[in-house]
Structure 1
Amino acid sequence: MKNKEPKISVIMPVYNAEKTIERAILSIINQTYNNIELILINDGSTDGTENIMKSYLEKENKIDIKYYFQKNSGPSIAKNLGIDMAKGEYILFVDSDDTISENYIESLVINQKEDTLIGASYKIIRDTEKNDNGIIITNKIYDIRNEILNDLVIGNLNGFVVLYLFNKEQMKDIYFEKDIRYMEDTLFLIKYIINNNINNIIYLKDVYYNYYQTDGSITNNTNKIIKNILSFTNSIRKIENIIPKEEKELKEICKKNRANRISKLIENNVSKIRERKILKEYQKSEEIKQIIKELIEDCNINKVYKLYLKFTMNSPYILFLAYVKIREILKKMK
C-alpha cells in the first residue's frame, strides 16, 4: 500500500530514543491495519536515533514511512510539524518509547462514529525490577459533553492524546501549545472537543497503548522544582481560559480544581527538596510567593494546608528537612 494516500497518519516525535525507537516503529509496521503513513519527527537527537530511523526508510515496508528533522524544539512543536505534514483522514500520536497492540489502529478505525471520540485502554510498563506493571481500562462511556469536559478538567478522564484517533479535517487551527510542559495533551483534547461539539467518548477494551515508564521520562523530571510549579500553574490557567464563558458551572469547577491540583503539585515537589540552596530559591521566588498568596486566600483550601504552605515559605532549612524526614517515615508506616 506504499505511495497510496493513507487513511491514518501516525505522528511520532523522537528525541534521543536509540534504545526504544525500533520497538516503537515495529509496533506500527506490524499493525493488522496497513493503510498507514508513519511520520517520524527527529527533534534534534544527538545519539544514534537518526541512523535507526533512516535505516527503515531504506527498507521495503508495508507502510509508508516519512522522516523529518528539526532543531531541538520540544515534543509539542514536533507534533505540530507532524500535523501539518499529515496526509491521512485520521491522525494518531505515538511516543517514541512506547508501543501499541497489533489491533490498535484497526480497532480505532472500525469503531469511528460521528461526533464521537474513540479511545483505547493502556498498559503501564515500568522499566524497574519491581513487577508493578498495570493495565488501565476505562469502561465508562461518555455521552454528555459537559461530563466529558468536567472529568478532563478535574483529572478523572485520561487526557493522553495517544489514546485517541483524531479526524484531520476537524483539527483545523488546533495545535499543541509550545510554551507549556504540563497537560499540553489535556489542553489539546479540550480544544478538539469544544471546537467539534464532541458529545461522546467510547473506550475500547482489549486494545492497548503500552506506556513505558522510565526514570528518564520527561514527565518524571522533578529536579527543577520552581519551574515545575510555575509551568503547571500556567497550564491550569490556560485550560480554565479556553472553557466558554457561558459554561459558568464548569468555570467554577475549573477554579476549584486549579487550587486543589496546584496545592498537590506544590506538596509533591517541595517534599523532594534536599538542598538548602533550592529551598532558598523556592522561598525567595516572587512568582511562587504570588501563587502561595492566592492559595492561602482561596476558600477552597483548608486551614491546615494553608498553614503547611506558610511553613514551606518561612521555615528554616534544618526544621524543613526534619519535617520532610518525618513525612517520609509516616508514609512508610502506612
Structure 2
Amino acid sequence: MQEIISVIVPIYKVEEYLERCINSILNQTYKNLEIILVNDGSPDKCPNICEEYAKKDDRIKVIHKQNGGLSDARNYGLNIAIGKYISFVDSDDYIEKNMYQDMINELRMKKADIVSCAINNVYSDRSVSSDIEERVYDTESALKDLILGKNLNQTVWNKLYKKDVINGILFEKGKINEDDFWTYQVFANSKKIITLNKVLYNYIHRESSIMGQGYSEKNLNGLEARYNQYKFIEKNYPKLNLIAKKSVFFYAIFLYQKLLISKHDINNSYMCIQEYLKEINFNDKERKQLTIKEKIWVFMGKKSMYFTCKIRNLIHIGI
C-alpha cells in the first residue's frame, strides 16, 4: 500500500486562485494523499470553496480557524497530519501532476529524508523556471548550500519531508520570512537531503502577497531569522560559522539599502539593524578568508552603514 503524504494548504483571501491549487493536488498521479485545507479566517468565498471540495473527495480535511497568519495555519495542519510524509502548498500556487510521485520515488530510491525540486516562477507577463544541480547532501553540506542560497533555498513548499525529521518543529507565529526560521532546523534533523532537477512547483508572484509588498518593519523578521540561524550554526556546525555570519551582515546591508529607497521613517529600523550588527564581528582569521570586495564592505559598513548603503544604491550593487 502507498504511504500517505499529508499536503498542508494554508488559505487566506485567495478565492481567485484556490480552485486551481486544489485541483492540481487532487489530480496528482500519486493518489494516497491527505489534503489538509486550513481556512485561516478568510473573509471571502474560500471557506465555501473548501467545503464544496471536501464533499467531492474524502481525502480532503477542512479546518476553519480564526485568522492567525500563515505560520499558525501551517502549524494547525502539522498538528493533525497523519502522513509519513509532509508537503506544503501555498494556496495561490499550483503543482505539476507528477510532483509527489517523482519526489517520493527519489526519497525511497536514495533513502533520503528531504527532497527539493526546481521551481517555475510565474509572473503576470512571463514565467521563469529554475535550473538546479541534482545532488545528494549530508547534513552539513546541505546547511552550507542553504545558507548560501546555492541549489537549495529556504522555501518550504518545493520540498517533501519525512515527518520524522520535522519532529514537532513549528513555524514562528506572527512572522514573515517564516520559512527562514524553520527550514534550517529541519535540515539539521536530516541525515540525507537530495535535489531533483525537475520543475514541479509553480510559484505565483503577486504584488498583493506578503512577500510582494514594499519595505515594512516586519522585514526585520528576515534579519532576526538569519541571526538565529547564525547562532544555531555557531553552536552546532562551527565549520559553517563564517558563511552564516556573512549571511547576517550582508542581509543587514541589503535591508538598509531597501530602507533608504523607501518612504518609511528609517530611525527605528536603522537602530534595530545596528543592534544586530554589533553582534557580528569578524576576527583576524575570518577577515583573511573574506574576498577583497567583502573586506571593503565590512570595513565601510562598520564605519558607517548609512554611507555604505548610499554608495551601494548609487552604483546599483546588492539591490
TM range (shorter): 0.7 to 0.9
295-304 vs 99-108, greater mean Cα deviation: 295-304
Per the TM alignment, residue 292 of structure 1 is displaced from its structure 2 partner at its CA by 6.0
Instruction: Select 1:78's aligned residue among 73, 79, 84.
Output: 73
Per the TM alignment, residue 212 of structure 1 is displaced from its structure 2 partner at its CA by 0.6
Q: Is the 8 A contact 1:6 1:87 kept in 2?
A: no
Change in 2 beyond 3 A, CA 1:167/1:311? same
- Secondary structure at 1:140 match in 2: coil
For 1:99 and 1:239, the matched residues in 2 are separated by 29
Per the TM alignment, residue 58 of structure 1 is displaced from its structure 2 partner at its CA by 2.1
Aligned to 1:150: 144
Does residue 1:216 correspond to 2:208, yes or no?
Answer: yes
For 1:169 and 1:296, the matched residues in 2 are separated by 36
* Unaligned ranges ≥5, structure 1: 314-319
Q: Is the 8 A contact 1:283 1:289 kept in 2?
A: no
Aligned to 1:227: 218
Q: Is the 8 A contact 2:134 2:197 kept in 1?
A: no
- Secondary structure at 2:23 match in 1: helix
Per the TM alignment, residue 189 of structure 1 is displaced from its structure 2 partner at its CA by 2.3
TM-score by length of 1: 0.80
For 2:267 and 2:88, the matched residues in 1 are separated by 36
What's the CA shift string for 1:18-73, capped at 9, x where partnerless?
111110000011111111111000111111211111111222x3x61110011111
For 1:142 and 1:263, the matched residues in 2 are separated by 32
Q: Is the 8 A contact 1:283 1:312 kept in 2?
A: no
Does residue 1:258 correspond to 2:248, yes or no?
Answer: yes
Change in 2 beyond 3 A, CA 1:283/1:86? closer
| Percent of residue pairs bearing the same amino acid type | 29
Aligned to 1:282: 267
For 1:13 and 1:41, the matched residues in 2 are separated by 5
Aligned to 2:188: 194
What's the CA shift string for 1:238-297, capped at 9, x where partnerless?
1123226252221232112210122112212322x23xxx33x53686434534666799
Aligned to 1:42: 39
Per the TM alignment, residue 227 of structure 1 is displaced from its structure 2 partner at its CA by 3.1
TM-score by length of 2: 0.84
Residue identity in the other structure for 1:15? Y
Does residue 1:270 correspond to 2:260, yes or no?
Answer: yes
For 2:169 and 2:241, the matched residues in 1 are separated by 21
Instruction: Select 2:119's aligned residue among 122, 139, 144.
Output: 122
Does residue 1:91 correspond to 2:82, yes or no?
Answer: no
Does residue 1:23 correspond to 2:20, yes or no?
Answer: yes
Q: Is the 8 A contact 1:144 1:200 kept in 2?
A: yes
260-269 vs 79-88, greater mean Cα deviation: 260-269
Does residue 1:33 correspond to 2:30, yes or no?
Answer: yes
Residue identity in the other structure for 2:187? I
- Secondary structure at 2:44 match in 1: coil
What's the CA shift string for 1:55-114, capped at 9, x where partnerless?
11222x3x6111001111111111111011111111110000000001011111222232
Aligned to 1:309: 305
Residue identity in the other structure for 2:211? T
Aligned to 2:290: none
Change in 2 beyond 3 A, CA 1:201/1:283? same
Change in 2 beyond 3 A, CA 1:52/1:158? same
Aligned residues: 302
- Secondary structure at 2:25 match in 1: helix
What's the CA shift string for 1:126-176, capped at 9, x where partnerless?
12xx33x20012123033432211111122221211111111233222221
Q: Is the 8 A contact 1:43 1:78 kept in 2?
A: yes
Aligned to 1:316: none
Q: Is the 8 A contact 2:249 2:277 kept in 1?
A: no
For 1:268 and 1:26, the matched residues in 2 are separated by 38
Cα RMSD, aligned residues only: 2.9
21-30 vs 257-266, greater mean Cα deviation: 257-266
295-304 vs 169-178, greater mean Cα deviation: 295-304
Residue identity in the other structure for 2:83? G
Does residue 1:65 correspond to 2:51, yes or no?
Answer: no
Q: 1:6-21 alignment to 2 at 5 Å?
A: 7-21=4-18
Residue identity in the other structure for 2:267? Y
Q: Is the 8 A contact 1:180 1:234 kept in 2?
A: no
Q: Is the 8 A contact 1:295 1:306 kept in 2?
A: no
Residue identity in the other structure for 1:38? I
